[in-house]
Structure 1
Amino acid sequence: MPKMIFINLPVADLGAAKAFYEALGFVNNPAFSDDTAACMVWSEAINVMLQTHDKWRTFTTRPIPSKDSSEVMLCLSCDSREAVDAMNAAAAAKGGIADVNPVLELGFLYNRSFADADGHVWEAVWMDPAAAPPA
């Protein structure tokens, strides 16, 4: 089996969360989705498991962080600066919050952050490694 990552996120409204991630370009995998969870595929190696709070609580007794806290910041690579902007705009249009952190513009790297309706923070980033300053 190839190395993969499955990011599990608790969500208050599964239908709204699924629509949000679809607007960002994720695709639902119905084989691993039901009325308590939705498997949202970003790539062959990256999947986000959206889980209702009740489903989430079957895996852990730790409290679900509030929308105003930061538990983790997840970053997705994009093919262009325009794709970064489009992802940020799609997040805002589907109930998320655009630019929750300052825009990062380094010439060779462009990054914008957004939060989904549950407060999970994501970054969309474009980078041109050939233009990066030498280490």
Structure 2
Amino acid sequence: QACGLVKNLALMCYITVGTPAEPIVDFMIQRNMEVLEEFEPQVTPNATKVFVNGVWVGIHRDPSHLVTTMQNLRRRNMISHEVSLIRDIREREFKIFTDTGRVCRPLFVIDNDPKSENSGGLVLNKEHIRKLEADKDLPTDMAPEERREQ
């Protein structure tokens, strides 16, 4: 009995083409990530391990701030939307994947700020949809700066 799983996978998912990991590692080092070579487990036993594409690259003492910063960079399109960010609180690990060949799907972002009037609701709104539709109408050869002005 066909149930549409193959079709849904083809319509909703995409395969990553990969992005360089070095700029992300450099950015995290600037944001107080200690590289593995300088890590002393006796000094910071509760630090969170940071992995990039499965390789342990360092540790961070304030993982919630690092994760929030990385998510904001991705949402502002300063790092590729294909970069996967995974925080495992129980294992004290933060995993970042930038490699090729991963199956990705879109996710909806929920507003978790209890002070927000939209708390518990989607961050996506009609204004975002309108901007996406307007972006389709712009010429494809237009410079990114000109697109932002429009």
With normalisation by structure 1, the TM-score equals 0.29
Q: Answer 1 or 2: which has greater helix percent.
A: 2
The structure with the largest alpha-carbon Rg is 2
Relative to its length, the structure with more strand (as a share) is 1
TM-score, scaled relative to structure 2: 0.27
